[in-house]
Amino acid sequence: MKIPVALSAQSPSAEMARRAGVGFSVIFIALALYLLSPGARAAGSESAPELMGVCATCHGDFGQGGARGEYPRLAGLPAKYIESQLKSFRARKRINIPMFPYTEERELSDEDIRAISGYLSGITLPTAQPKFKGDEDALTRLQMMEKVMIVPRVEGDIANGGKIYQKECYTCHAKDGRGRGSFPMLVGQYSNYLRKQVNSYLKGERAHDEEDSRGILAELKDTDIRDILAYLTSIQPQE
């Protein structure tokens, strides 16, 4: 872009310096506008696959969790929830000793947390066995099968579990159990992991909500919790 220059009695060297300064200012403004653009911010998320390599050791290559629920599913969780939990680990508000080294700021910056949270949130895991076209190689077929996430059914009173869930839980976790905002999905998460977290809430080891460290869970019987888990496994989408 040509910048009009006013006439002056400056020396040639001064004029050249002034023009250089104007040129630098234009470049600086253009660079600043680019860095603030959505495209530039998205480009920063390219570090997420590298970060995923660290997470995959426990949580799986696709964020599907591992060790049959010992390590939870992360794929598809709301980004705000993942981000809040990583920061809670870092601040020691949520006690999880294995996670402490990975969430130190020198290991995982705020930018990294936003990147990996968005990356994991965007992963979709199918809930039905894949249908092969016939032209896939063996590795592709294996990866397609590994991404399938079907949580085994829990025995219980599904009707009772659904009644309690739709009365007490849906406001935060959504009617379909997929979570929203800073509240996690429950459908599609390992039942044994959910049960372990419930026990942590009841023991006061992890806060369930701001009003009471145990929340509504303290009012439920053990069979009610079992029934809720049975209900959640019954409404997994078959797709």
Tell me how far CA of residue 193 lies from CA of 24, 186, 200, 229, in angstroms: 56, 10, 11, 11
Where does 151-234 sit in CATH, by number?
1.10.760.10
Q: Is 59 annotated as a binding residue?
A: yes
Q: Annotation-wise, does 144 bind a ligand?
A: no
pLDDT above 60 for 12: no
- Is residue 172 annotated as involved in ligand binding? yes
> Residue 234: which of 140, 174, 162 has the closest Cα?
162
Query: Residue 64 CB: number of other CB atoms within 10 A?
Result: 22
**pLDDT, average across residues 39-55:** 67
Under 8 Å between Cβ of 175 and 166: yes
Give ranges for CATH 1.10.760.10 in the chain: 45-128+139-146, 151-234
Looking at the structure, give the CATH architecture of the domain made up of residues 45-128+139-146. Orthogonal Bundle (1.10)
Average pLDDT across the chain, whole number: 82
| Nearest Cα to Cα of residue 47 among 101, 108, 115 | 115
Phi, psi (degrees; rounded to nearest 5) at 180:
-165, 150
Nearest to 188 by CA among 226, 150, 219, 157: 150
The tens digit of pLDDT for each residue in 153-169 reads 999 999 999 999 999 99
10 Å CB burial of residue 213 (0-12, 13-18, 19+) is middle
- Least confidently predicted of 9-18, 24-33, 179-188, 202-211: 24-33
Buried b (16+ CB within 10 A) or exposed e, 178-196: bbeeebbbbbbbbbbbbee
* Of residues 52, 72, 70, the one with CA closest to residue 61: 52
16 annotated to a ligand binding site = no
Rounded to two decimals, the pTM is 0.75
Tokens 């991404």 map to which residue? 147
Q: Is 55 annotated as a binding residue?
A: yes
